[in-house]
Structure formats: structure tokens, C-alpha cells
Chain A
Amino acid sequence: MKTNIILAGVGGQGILTIAAVIDTAALACNLNIKQSEVHGMSQRGGAVQSHVRISDKEIHSDLIPLGKADLIISVEPMELLRYLPYLKKNGFLITDLNPFVNISNYPELKKVYQEINSHPNSILIDAKKAAKDLGNSKATNIILLGAASSQLPLSDNSLQEAIKTLFKRKGDKVVNKNLEAFNKGKEITTEIVL
């Protein structure tokens, strides 16, 4: 069993928090993990990605080879498309639908959505709105994680425990808000798939 995940977004959107939850859950389940991330210049509003690999066997490369990603989770719709060369045939795509426009030549949003929808296993959700509705707009990333959780080789329970571990320092309120966001995300995809 080996699962390759690419997390995508713009510097500052919280993809490393998604990675940290997945890592923590996988480690607690005694699985091997490798997770590469971007530090430095690109973090300043540039395109960033993280390669997350989980396996019960030894993992060699820190980077996912082209065409080997099972899943791409993106916090931004155009950023999702940037990593398509890594996607496995019939791999799974999930993204927030809200664009992050900090460049003058951002493509027409309709075309971005069309491109995403042309892939068989793609899900576009309004995670930002869902997070706002829960009164915690910072939890967009955790909504997305919840929405993608059925595609991860990790149980909901292990992911929820990881959220508790990671946010513990920030107090019970933050823990609960994030657990709520995770469950909300799950709910959204269940509705779409049904």
C-alpha cells in the first residue's frame, strides 16, 4: 500500500497544516511517511506545494514521480491544475473553488472550472464559505482535508486524533472548531458523491 498526495496552494494558505495532520495520523498508525515542503522565497505569495507519501513499506524518494499521485488536494483552483503532470490516470482531484488573485494575468475563472470539471474524478467545493459559515474562515484547509479524507489510507478517527494533537496548544475551542470543519468537509463530499 502506497499513497501519494500532492497538496497545492499559494504561500500562506495553510497547506502545511493539512500535511501536518496527515503526517501525524500516519505516524500514529505506524506507517512510513515522507513529506517534502517548500520554504524560502516562494512562501511569499508564490505557488507552493507539498508532496506527501504514506506507505506500509519503505519509501525511497521524497518527491513523487510524474504520473504517480493518487490525489491532489488544492486550496486554490488554478494551483490544482499546475500539478496535473503528477496525477495518476484516474487520480482524484479536490479543490476549493475560490481563486487567489495576486497576479494580473489570472485566467478566466470559468475556464479554470471547465478544465477541472473535464477530469473524471474532480470535486470543486466552496470550502471557504463552509469555513466562514462555521465562524472560522481560517479552517478552509481543514474543510478540504475532511472533504478528501475518504481518499486517504487513514481512518477518520486517526485524522481527528491528529487534529486534536496538533491544535491542542491553541486550546479546546480551536480544537473543536477544526474538528467541526473536518466533519463539515466530509459531509460536503458525501453529498456530492451521492
Chain B
Amino acid sequence: MKKLLLGNEALAQGAIDAGISGTYAYPGTPSTEITEYIQQSKTATTLNIHSQWSVNEKTAMEAALGMSYAGKRAITVMKHVGLNVAADVFMNMSVSGINGGLVVVVADDPSMHSSQNEQDSRHYGRFAMVPILEPSNQQETYDITLYAFYLSERLGLPVMIRMLTRLSHSRAGVEIGKRTAQNAISLPKNPHQFQLIPIYARKGYQHLVDIQTDIKESSENSYFNTFIDAPNTSMGIIASGIAYNYLMENFEDAGCPFPILKISQYPLPKNQVNKLFDTCKKILILEDGYPFIEELVTGFSGKEKKVMGRLTGHINRVGELNPDNIAKALGFEAKIPQPIPNIVTGRPPELCIGCAHRDLFDVINQLKKMYEQQQVFGDIGCSALGVLPPYQSVNTLIDMGASITMAKGAADAGIHPSIAFIGDSTFTHSGMTGLLDAVIENTPITIIISDNSAIAMTGAQDSSASGRIFNICKGIGVDKNHLKVITPLHKNLDENLDLIRNEIDYNGVSVIIAQRPCVQLPKEKKDQLKKLQTASIN
């Protein structure tokens, strides 16, 4: 019988069945369930497949590369902005190539359901000159994951799978195949392959350029790129990934009258694109995210065949695709749906009742009354909700770890008080290095680490920071007289306010660790954390 799986779960099952020996990831919506599925899989546990969370995407991808170096198959998983963090290793490992199959899964989030931007990872794949796979449905996600490992080992390159929120978080029945055994340890045949000093890096890069022909040929002959012929050549359609589903939805059972080139593997298969251009009068491009294909196929002079898509206004430039905006692009008469009644109001997300961040934002809002110039630099995670009413305590939200470093820059510019507000796992993800910058110069900033001992926004996964923050800060060199631990509770409001005020008045780096576990954590976990934290401070 078919198994009911989220797109993310189908991918994870595909990775297990492809014989991976490890998954390396940091949680991030919409990618989180891939790793969680492997963590919860009995098969994966029995097979001793590594699945523990990494500290960030860069450490994750490097560890996956290490496993590949040893000859085994590995997968590394992240959301689109996570690839920015891992970009250093990502760009270089296409030059070194891989040993055991290595698949990089990146889940994009057009419409920014849970993200700061809608960057399109296909640009990264093209930038690194590696194959990109973009499944259109749950079954294809499973199948494409198996294929990705085959392709990776055949080409000796990492392969990217690009997922999208709507596929990651939608369920369907999936037919599961047989599992491949894990690879044995086997070191790279060429001892210089992974030594990217210039003399070997030049060879690696030349090789990467040379095998582009093979990569293109693989795409040209790929089972996942299909030319679907049809009689009405007044228009040809290129539909990539899930855009294909929305297109077909508009024709229901009748089938699409226009020729379609369905794309699930990049680089674009040039011959098939040419065939479509040769046979059809105009071309409609349907792709979620950036106008990636559209930019590639539109003639620079603008005099060639008419191409329609996100750049020409036929599809919204910003935001995800759906059956309705594609209907419009196809020229179907716009349906006038029932309106949402005027009385319906927005319901934005909010911090949980009893959340420790709430007590800290209360303190920050009190401080604001005392210090007119106060600026609060926020960070990614649940504490980002401090931007919204009722608190509106946080002035900035940019990327993982930017709270501490932006606070430093603002303090350098003369802002006082300059407060950084960061969660525990964001701190270990990308805050520690910035803290060192501030410590070296003893910059007058006040850093509040709201330690709820969980990666809360993505579902309270284990935080690498649990029980370690105090010692990390001490080790980085924070003056112990200005390294404080508080309990953010309403009853402690006045006490906490006084303490933070004193630290604001100190002309140097202060770190205040506000410890209270995430309310979403089960009781046993909270008790366990309490012991860990007490031990760490003593």
C-alpha cells in the first residue's frame, strides 16, 4: 500500500532508501521535517544513520562532505537562507567534487510564509555549476532523491534538490521501493582531490568546467524532463517543478492543448527548449520563485520570440504561484470569488501564553521609557515576534546572529543603549563570533540571550546551546562581573529591570542570560534542562 507522506517525508524516505549513512542539518521552515523523519525512523536508527542536528548549516554541510570524503552517502538539508550560511563550502565542494554521493536539499519559501526573503536556490546551483533537481510532486520527490545519489556519484559532484514550501508541506500517497545498502568506507582515489590549494584547485575547477557537457547531456536525457506534445502550437509552456501541477489543474480531465516542457532537472535541456521555441508561436514560463528560466531563455536583444512570465507581468513577479494566477496567465476569464466579509480581521502569529520572551519584552519596553535613544537589535526565531504588537520591542530583524554584530556597529556609531536580543540556538548558530568581536573591543553593548533551550519556532528541537551558554560566554572572554543569569518571570520584573539597567550603564560588553525553558517542551525535558543549567553555572 502507498504511504501517506509530506513532500519532506518522501524525500527523507528516499534518502534512507538511497543508502545514506548520515543527514546533517539545522532546522528551518520549510525544511525541518526531512531531518525529523530520519530521526524518528526505526530503520534509520537500526542502521545507525547519523541524524543529530548540527549547530548551523555550514557545519552541517561540511560534516556531510566529510562523510562523502570517507566514501559514504550523505545528505545535508536546509532552508533557502540557510544556504547563505553554508555558501562557502557549497561553492568550494563543486570544485573539489565528492566521493560518496552527496545531496544538498534546499527548501525555498516563496511568499515568505516563514522567512525574510524569497531567494531562489536555483541561482546558487547554477553559480556552483552543479545539477539541480526540482520535483513536482510527492512521488517524484521520492524517486528524484534516489536518482540524485546515483547522479552525484556518476558525475562526482554534489547534486542539489530544490524543494518549495507547498511541496514540502503537502501530503500524498507515495509508493516506496527497495532500500540500497550503505557504502563501505573508501577514500578518494586521487589524494589531491580535496586539497584546494591553488595548484589543485585550478585542476578541480578545470574539471568542473569540462564536465559541464556531461551535466547538460544528463539533463537533456533526463527521465524527469519531459516534452509533452500537443496540437495547439499558438503557445508553448515551460513549467518547472510544482508549477506543472497548477498548470494541469486548469485543464482538469481534458488535458492541456499546448505543448509543455516539464522541467525537473537543470541545467535547462537546450535541445528540448529549442524544440518548443521552434514549434510554438509564443512561450509561457511557469516557475515558482525568481524568473530563473525566463531570464535564461529570453533573448537579450528583446527581438526574438515572445516570452511571457514574471518579468513581463503575465505572472506576479513577487509571491508564490497557485492555480489561480496561472489561470490568469493562460488568459482564462477571472473568476470573481465570494469576498472575505469586512468584519474578518487579521490574526498574526503570537508568542505562546507564558513564554519567557514576553517577560523580557516587558522589561525592554520599560527601559525604553528611561532611555530615549534605546535601540534593540533582534534576531531570527520566536523572539522575532517581538517586532509585532503588542510588544513592538525589536527594531531590526535581518539574519541569524545579526543582533549582536549590528548592536556593535550601532554602538560604534554612538547609539546608547544598544541592546542585542537573541535566542539560545541562534546564538550558537551565528552569534558567538560576533560576541568575540564585541569582547575584543569591549564595545558598550548589552546582549540579552533569551535561553529557552530549544529551537522553538521550528517545533522545539534540541538546541546545541542547552546548558552551554554561560561557559561559552566566559570562554569568549566576557567579564564575569558583567555576565549575569536571570529568570524572566513577571514576579522578577523589577529586579530584572534594575539588573539590566546597571549593565546598560556599564561602559563595555554585558551579557545577560535569561533562562526559562520553552513552554512547548515536555516537563521531563524542562527538569533535565534545569539540572544541566545549574551544573553549568556552578
Contacts and interface: CB of A to CB of B under 8 A. Distances in A.
A37 B170 contact: yes
B349 A11 contact: yes
Q: Is the interface of B mostly helix, strand, loop or mixed?
A: loop
Interface in B340-392: 340-341, 343-352, 382, 385, 390
A41 B114 contact: yes
Contact of A34 (B171, B344, B346, B348): B171
Nearest to A19: B171
Contact of B4 (A24, A87, A112): A24
Given A37-B169, A40-B30, A102 B350 contact: yes
A90 to B, nearest CB: 11
A41 B337 contact: no
Nearest to A86: B337
B167 interface: yes
Contact of A62 (B242, B337, B347): B242
A34 B172 contact: yes
A35 B171 contact: yes
A84 B341 contact: yes
A85 B350 contact: no
A183 interface: no
A45 B349 contact: yes
Given A32-B173, A41-B113, A61 B344 contact: no
Interface string A22-46: 0110010000111111111111111
Contact of B33 (A39, A79, A86): A39
A131 to B, nearest CB: 21
Nearest to A37: B169
Interface residues of A, number: 49
Contacts of B349: 11, 41-46
B219 interface: no
B491 interface: no
B137 to A, nearest CB: 8
A107 B169 CA distance: 31
B344 A38 contact: no
B166 interface: yes
Contacts of B323: 61, 63-65
B169 A61 contact: no
A10 B347 contact: yes
Contacts of B459: 39
B173 A85 contact: no
Interface string B385-415: 1000010000000000000000000000000
Contact of B337 (A43, A67, A107): A67
Contacts of B390: 104
B344 A81 contact: yes
Interface stretch (B92-100, B244-252, B472-480): B244-252
Nearest to A23: B4
A103 interface: yes
B32 A39 contact: yes
A42 B350 contact: no
Contacts of B2: 27
B348 to A, nearest CB: 6
Contact of B166 (A43, A63, A108): A63
Contacts of B242: 62
B246 A84 contact: no
A78 B344 contact: yes
19 contacts: A27-B4, A36-B169, A39-B169, A40-B30, A40-B113, A40-B458, A41-B114, A41-B349, A65-B323, A66-B337, A81-B340, A81-B344, A82-B340, A85-B337, A87-B338, A103-B345, A105-B345, A107-B343, A111-B343
Top 7 nearest A-B pairs (CB, nearest first) are A40-B114, A40-B29, A46-B349, A85-B337, A61-B249, A62-B170, A36-B170
Given A37-B171, A39-B32, A60-B247, 5 more contacts: A40-B457, A45-B351, A60-B249, A65-B323, A103-B348
